[in-house]
Each structure stands twice: as C-alpha cells, then as structure tokens.
Structure 1
Amino acid sequence: MSAVAPANTGPTSIGPIELQGLAAMVNLLAQAGGLDALLSNRPSEPRDRRLHIGYSEAAERLNIPEKWLRERISTLPHRKFGKFVQFTEEDLRAISDMHFVNPGAVSEKDGESALMSLQPSKRSRKRF
C-alpha cells in the first residue's frame, strides 16, 4: 500500500532551484513586455496617445482611399478646428458602423423604397 501525503500540512519552503526558475520566468516576461500586460490587463504594445488624427491616417486605419474620405466628409462624423479636419477613435468607429452591410437582412428603408417603386406616378401623361 502506498502512503498518501496529507494535503496542506503547512507552508512549504521553496528551494534555490525553484527561486531561480521563477526569477528566470519573470525576467523573460519582463523582456517580452508581457509582464505589464499580465499584471494590469493592458495590451503590451504601446497605444497611440494622440487625441485626433488627420485624413491620411484615418483613411489608412479604415483601409480606404484618402480621396474617398475627403469627398464624403460632409456626411461623416469628424472634428473641425478652423480649416483642419480631425478624427477621433469614436469617429472612426462611427464611420465604420455607418457602412455596415448585412446582406440577409431587409431594413425598413429598403421595404419603403420597394413600396414606393410600385406606386403610380403623380405625373399626368399627355394624350394625343
């Protein structure tokens, strides 16, 4: 019959080998930048701290041509400082959400336009 060690009999001492292994792991995590992410639940890559971005970076982040963004600026959320147009993170998300397409769903707007196309015109035809 084998002897079973009692569970939680008291504090166990950590030997020098275990301490070295633990220190090596902490060192590797710190070098990789993962220690901060593990300790604070933040992403390990540095975040852009700018509050606003311009056309070129906004277009790059949305993966669209800058020209498209400039042509439609009057219908898109943005910030304007004099003649300078800037975008925030929320603006970029709103622009992306504005152009969400769900091919299987029929919206009220689509239903109304289908009904409008079936109604007769109010123009009168000239008869000869």
Structure 2
Amino acid sequence: MAAMAPASAGPALDVQGLVAVVDLLAQAGGLDALLGNRARDARDKRLHIGYSEAAERLNIPEKWLRERISTLPHRKFGKFVQFTEDDLHAISDMHFVSPGAKSQRDDESALMTLQPSKRSRKRS
C-alpha cells in the first residue's frame, strides 16, 4: 500500500490560495468575465471594422469580401472601406438560403417561356 504523506502546512496553504482565487472569480463575475470580455468589449465599442475582422466575423475569406465589395453594403472613407454591425448583418441576410422555398427569381423564370427567334434563316 502506498504511503500517505502526513498532513502539513503545505496543503492548508494550497486550500487557502484556492479559496482566494475562487473569491476573486466571484467578485469579477466568473472566469469568462475576466478572460473573454476584454476582447469583445474592445471590438464592440468600435463603430467600424476593416476587411480582416469583417471576414473573420462572417467566417469567410477576406479575398471574397474584397472581390465582391461593389455588391456588398459597406462604408467608404476616402479609399478606406469599413463595415458596421448592420452591414455585416445585411451581408449575411443577402446570402440566406432556404431550401424548398420558392424565390422571386424562380417565379420570373417560370413566366418566361421559350419562343422562336424572330430572325429567319437563309436557305441555300
């Protein structure tokens, strides 16, 4: 059988340290409050974000945003392109897909029927 270490001041100090850490966490609102909110608070306070963070938040490549910027909602300050929270939501909504639902484009293509050309062929 393994020998047990006698109770000494070491483990008692470890418990006191653990209690102190738990108290600090409780005062701060938890571990997430201490670690996670710092990055989110800094990001949420900014009015505009650039290409790299917008692409990261949309979970798409930055190149995709840059190639399609003329068709996407954004803000432009001189040569600087910026996005707001509303722009990111609008971009996301623009690419919403609902399988099984008919789109307006489907209805329009159904209305267009194939018709023969008005141009006549030359016969030899």
TM-score norm. by structure 1 comes to 0.63
Is 1:63 aligned to 2:59, yes or no? yes
Tell me: CA distance 1:83–1:28, structure 2 relative to 1, closer, same or farther (3 Å): closer
Relative contact order: is structure 1 or structure 2 higher (C-alpha 8 Å, sep ≥ 6)? Answer: 2
CA spacing shift, 1:54–1:123, aligned 2, 3 Å? farther
Report the counterpart of residue 115 of structure 2 in structure 1: 120
Match of 1:22 in 2: none
Q: Secondary structure of 1:106's partner? A: coil
What is the RMSD of the two structures over their aligned residues, measured on CA atoms? 2.4
Gaps of 5+ in 1: 1-24, 37-43
Distance 1:29 1:122, change over 3 A: farther
Equivalent pairs counted in the alignment come to 95
Alignment of 1:1-128 (within 5 A): 28-33=25-30, 45=37, 46-47=40-41, 48=43, 49-116=45-112, 118-128=113-123
State the distance in 2 between where 1:81 and 1:113 align.
39
> Comparing both structures, which one devotes a greater share of its residues to helix?
2
CA distance in 1 between counterparts of 2:71 and 2:116 reads 30
Deviation at 1:114, TM superposition (A): 2.7
CA-CA distance at 1:73 after TM superposition: 0.5
Query: TM-score, normalized by length of structure 2?
Result: 0.65
Gaps of 5+ in 2: 1-21
